[in-house]
Structure 1
Amino acid sequence: MKTLALVTAVAASGHDDDLAPLLDACADAGLHARAVAWDDPTVSWSRFDSALLRSPWDYTERLPEFLAWCEHADRVTHLMNPLNVVRWNTDKHYLADLATVGIPVVPTRFVEPDAEPMDALAAFLDEFDAGEFVVKPTVSAGARDTQRYARDQQFVAGNHIGRLLEQERSVMLQPYVASVDQHGETALLYFNGRFSHAARKGAQLPPGEGARQAPMALGDIVATTATPAEQALAERILTAAMRLRQLEDPLAYARIDLLTGADGLPQLLELELTEPSLFFAQAPGSAARFAAVLASRLADGTVRARMATA
């Protein structure tokens, strides 16, 4: 029986709703899967045939350490998540890469640690006639350290930007997309490059709420049907990501989070390729479909072959 490490974190214990159904589905698919924390020093990773990033959600606070662990894990076992994808996707500067190749991305401006926060915010507000806007770090998960502001809250927003920059964290500024309050976000899930299911996530940033500190996303999540336009854009995004990262094989999983822009067309909010929630509870049978993908990858003989030639 092939052994698979489903990589989580000590801090994420009890918070990953996908983990239990995935463990059960892996057992049904003939895999011996274990949930193990990337930051547990007692784990012998070489004992696993492969490892998959599942919920290492504290990496945003320890990114260099986490990336170094990923490199180590890929040396001693096979990390299903390609390293060049992990390095790219854990920092939301990737949105600029996708926008450059023509993907409609929620308008985003980046503020780097050497910038003056109020000047950067003023330039952003001069460029965008936004009644509300969002401040978030480029390395974050679950809306952590992210906040929604009204246009007349420039002073407090500038302080938020300044705090992040003082921590040597890059910052994103985005106009708030009003449609999310009514329609939420549409998350499209792909397994092995094929569409599996979609979920609707409620608005993550209620007006007047302070910056969230929990690294896990909140809000109502329900099953939904992706529109043809949403599916078409999601597939364009996956194709673009494959080309940008020079990948030949599809990724084990991908989640594409879309919003509806002012023109009524979908826009990319986030592309989750490293540790996405997969919303198994909203799509009966989806855990089994994903476990079948993992079993196929472990059974095809390429795992140890890649390790032997690395």
Structure 2
Amino acid sequence: MKSLALVTAIAAAGHDDDLPPLLDACADAGLHARAVAWDDPTVSWNRFDAVLLRSPWDYTERLPAFLAWCEHVDQTTRLLNPLNVVRWNTDKHYLADLAAVGIPTVPTVFVEPDAEPMDALAGFLRAWDATEFVVKPVVSAGARDTQRYSRDQDFAAGNHIARLLDQERSVMLQPYLPSVDGEGETALLYFDGQFSHAIRKGAQLITPEGTRQTPAAADDITARRASAAQQALAEKILLATTRLRQLEAPLPYARIDLLAGPDGQPCLLELELTEPSLFFDQAPGSAAHFAHILAELLTRDTVRARTGTV
């Protein structure tokens, strides 16, 4: 029986709604799966045939340590998703890479730690005639340190940017797209490169004065039928990622978060390849489907190792 680590964090224990159904589904698929914390020093990672990142949600607060751990695991066993993808995806500068190859993204201006905060913000506001805008760090999860502002809150926004830059954290500035208040975000889930299901997430930044306090409010997540245009864009994003990261096989899992842009067409908000919630509760059977894919993936790798095929 293949052994699989489902990686969480000590701080996230008990908070990952995806873990219980995935553990059960892995058992049904013939996998010996265990939920273990990446920051538990007692774990022997070489005992697992593969290590699947699921909810190491505190990585944003200690990214160098997390990436060092990922590198150690990658040298010891198989890390899913792959190390070069995780390194790239944990910093939202990846949006610039995707935009450069023609992927429509939410317009983003990056502000680096050596910049003057108010000058950067003034330049952004001149370039984008948005009623509201968003300030967020490039390494973040769950709307942490992210804030929505109106244009007349430029002083408060500038102070927010300055605080992040003083911590040597790069910052993203984005126009707030009003479509999110009505339509919400659409998250499309892909397993082994194939579309599985989609969900709708309500707005995470409720007003310019406050944000939700959790990665997603459970009462504002529902199943959604993805449109043909959304699926087409998601598949274009996955193809671009494959080329940018020089991948030889589809990613075991990917979540693509889309918004309706000013022209009504979908655009990329975030590409989640490290620790996304997979929303099994909103798609009955999806945990079993994912576990079956993981079992096939590990079996296929074993056959390749024995035969020497690629």
> What TM-score results when the alignment is normalised by the length of structure 1?
0.96
CA distance in 1, matches of 2:179, 2:245: 31
Aligned position for 2:216: 217
Deviation at 1:68, TM superposition (A): 0.3
Q: Which runs of 5+ in 1 are unaligned?
A: none
Residue 60 of structure 1 contacts residue 141 of structure 1 at CA under 8 Å; is this kept in 2? yes
Question: 1:235-257 CA deviation, whole Å, 9 max, x = no partner?
Answer: 00000000000001000000000
| 1:120-139 equivalences in 2 (<5 Å) | 120-139=120-139
- Structure 2 Cα separation of the partners of residues 37 and 209 of structure 1: 34
Q: Stretches of 4+ moved more than 2 A in 1?
A: 208-214, 216-219, 301-306
Letter in 2 for 1:234: A
**Counterpart position of 1:33:** 33
In the alignment, which residue of structure 2 is the partner of 1:142?
142
1:182 aligned onto 2:213: no
2:105 aligned partner, one-letter code: V
Contact 2:204 / 2:212 at 8 angstroms: preserved in 1? no
1:206-246 C-alpha deviation (Å, 9 max, x unpaired): 013435665x3336110000000000000000000000000
Are the equivalent residues in 1 in contact too, given 2:57–2:141 (CA < 8 A)?
A: yes
The residue number in structure 1 matching 2:172 is: 172
Tell me if structure 1 keeps the 8 A contact 2:190–2:254: yes
Tell me how far apart the structure 2 counterparts of residues 303 and 38 of structure 1 sit (CA, whole Å).
28
Describe the superposition over 1:117-139 as per-residue Cα deviations: whole angstroms up to 9, x where unpaired.
00000000000001000000000
User: Which residue number corresponds to residue 68 of structure 1?
Assistant: 68
Cα distance in 1 for partners of 2:49, 2:303 equals 7
On the 8 A contact 1:146/1:212 being kept in 2, the answer is: no
Mark the CA change 1:206 to 1:213 in structure 2 (over 3 Å): closer, same or farther: closer
Number of equivalenced pairs: 307
Alpha-carbon displacement from aligned partner over 1:250-296 (angstroms, at most 9, x marks no partner): 00000000000111100000000111100000000000000001101
Instruction: Provide the rounded CA distance (Å) in 1 between the counterparts of 2:210 and 2:130.
Output: 20
Correspondence for 1:160: 160
Aligned equivalents of 1:191, 1:65: Cα separation in 2: 28
Q: Is this contact kept in 2: 1:257–1:268, CA < 8 A?
A: yes
Which amino acid is the alignment partner of residue 41 of structure 2? P
CA distance in 1, matches of 2:126, 2:244: 31
Aligned equivalents of 1:146, 1:209: Cα separation in 2: 11
AA in 2 matched with 1:20:
P
Q: Percent identity?
A: 78
Determine the C-alpha separation between the residues in 2 that align with 1:100 and 1:301.
Answer: 34
Q: After TM superposition, give the deviation of residue 304 of structure 1 in Å.
A: 8.8
For 2:269, the equivalent position in structure 1 comes to 269
Q: 1:262 to 1:66 in 2, by over 3 A?
A: same
Deviations 1:177-197 (A, max 9, x none): 000000000000000000000
| Structure-2 residue corresponding to 1:288 | 288
Contact 1:23 1:33 in 2 (8 A): yes
Q: What letter matches 2:232 in structure 1?
A: A
Distance in 1 of aligned mates of 2:57 and 2:209: 22
Question: What CA distance in whole angstroms lies between the structure 2 residues aligned with 1:190 and 1:303?
Answer: 24
Is the contact made by 1:5 and 1:48 (CA closer than 8 Å) also made in structure 2? yes
Residue 15 (structure 1) shift: 1.3
User: Using a 3 Å threshold, how does the CA distance of structure 1 residues 197 and 41 change in structure 2: closer, same or farther?
Assistant: same
Q: Quick one: distance in 2 between partners of 1:122 and 1:130? A: 12
Task: Give the CA deviation at 1:74.
Answer: 1.1
Alpha carbons 1:147, 1:212 under 8 Å: kept: no
Query: Contact 1:145–1:213 at 8 Å: present in 2 too?
Result: no
Structure-2 separation of matches of 1:86 and 1:303 = 26
Q: Which amino acid in the other structure matches residue 223 of structure 1?
A: A
Q: Structure 1: how far apart are the matches of 2:201 and 2:231?
A: 16
C-alpha RMSD over aligned residues: 1.7
Instruction: Say if 1:133 and 1:175, in contact at 8 Å, map to a contact too.
Output: yes
Contact 2:199 2:224 in 1 (8 A): yes
| Paired letter, 1:131 | T
